[in-house]
Amino acid sequence: MKKVVAILAISLALFASNSMAADPALARVTFIPQWIPQAQFAGYMMALEKGFYKESGLDVEILRGGPADSPLEALQSGRATFCSLWVSTAVQHRAMGVKLVNLAQIVQHSALMIVAKKASGIINLENLNGRRVGLWEGDFKIQPLALFKSRNLSVIEVPLYSTVNLFLKGAVEAMTAMWYNEYHTLLNTGLEPDDLTTFFFRDYGLNFPEDGIYCLEKTLIDNPSVCEGFVQASLKGWIYAFEHEKETLDVVMKYTDTAHTGTNRAHQTWMLARMKDLIFPNGDKAVFGKLDVQQYLLVTNTLQSLGFIKNAPGYEDFYRGQR
């Protein structure tokens, strides 16, 4: 089965990259994204590619990432210095005692959504009642559960894993999807935007900030300049990525090719464009890299009300980035 082999390949790749020769003058750090290489992480790829990390005195290695490699484990084991995580994930870990801190909030808006085929008669939220809805496990489930609870919807939850095939084959009538990823995958199976009903959580009072840069609190205390350098170079990488879309996509495709993720340029182009929408919502550059306190409280309050956490970490403790 190919997945077995994939794991083997990832381990080999990790081993190979670890053993690469390093510049002794630079501080060696590693970054692990929370998912497989794709345009979702284009800013880090470009910061590395264009030497922004080196300019900040860092010798950065980007780990491949993916569902089989937990960023938190990598952080705790010391295999990774920095990682990318959703706010909701990080808050839960912090609440459970893992001392990690948010150095920068990259994705300002929630890209999580529920998609349904109009043909199945789902036009508004209430239509989801009693329907088979494919839901990703874990933190992806927080917003749907909060929404269903607030709207008093009872849906038949079907666990959803990595692909959209369950939805395409008709085993579920609706599914959770990322705007920049699965939604486009569906469009590229021949479905038109008009064929689909979409529910963006950000439109239903559940606009959770998503990807942010995290490290252990210890790392920040010990090497604040390394953390500062990594964040600044990464932000610079993001700006570069959006200003040099074609070059960025070339780099992204290089990463995806190496990782055999089976994606294509059209998909990554869509993803990069959506990342820009999410990182600079409505073109707003002022919020770039910052975690909004209200949005933070929305996450913690929702988690508390659903019983995911008992005590919410303080915003000041959690967010250590730019104000």
Least distance in angstroms from the C-beta of 243 to other proteins? 21
Q: Measured from the CB atom, is 94 or 132 closer to other proteins? A: 132
Least distance in angstroms from the C-beta of 164 to other proteins? 9
Count helices and strands in the chain by DSSP H and E runs: 14, 10
Q: How far apart are CA 160 and CA 212, in angstroms?
A: 24
Nearest-Å Rg of the Cα atoms of the chain is 19
40 phi/psi in degrees, rounded to 5:
-60, -25
Least distance in angstroms from the C-beta of 285 to other proteins? 28
Q: Is the distance from CB of 151 to CB of 125 less than 8 angstroms?
A: yes
Q: Measured from the CB atom, is 162 or 198 closer to other proteins? A: 162
Q: Measured from the CB atom, is 70 or 127 closer to other proteins? A: 70
Q: Measured from the CB atom, is 11 or 154 closer to other proteins? A: 11
Q: Measured from the CB atom, is 65 or 212 closer to other proteins? A: 65
Q: Locate 256 and state its tokens.
A: 């995806």
Residues that bind other proteins (CB under 8 A): 1-5, 7, 9, 68, 158-159, 161-163, 165-166, 168-172, 187-190, 260, 262-267, 269-270
Cβ-based burial of 104 (10 A; exposed 0-12, middle 13-18, buried ≥19)? buried
Least distance in angstroms from the C-beta of 193 to other proteins? 12
Q: How far apart are CA 312 and CA 303, in angstroms?
A: 8
Least distance in angstroms from the C-beta of 104 to other proteins? 32
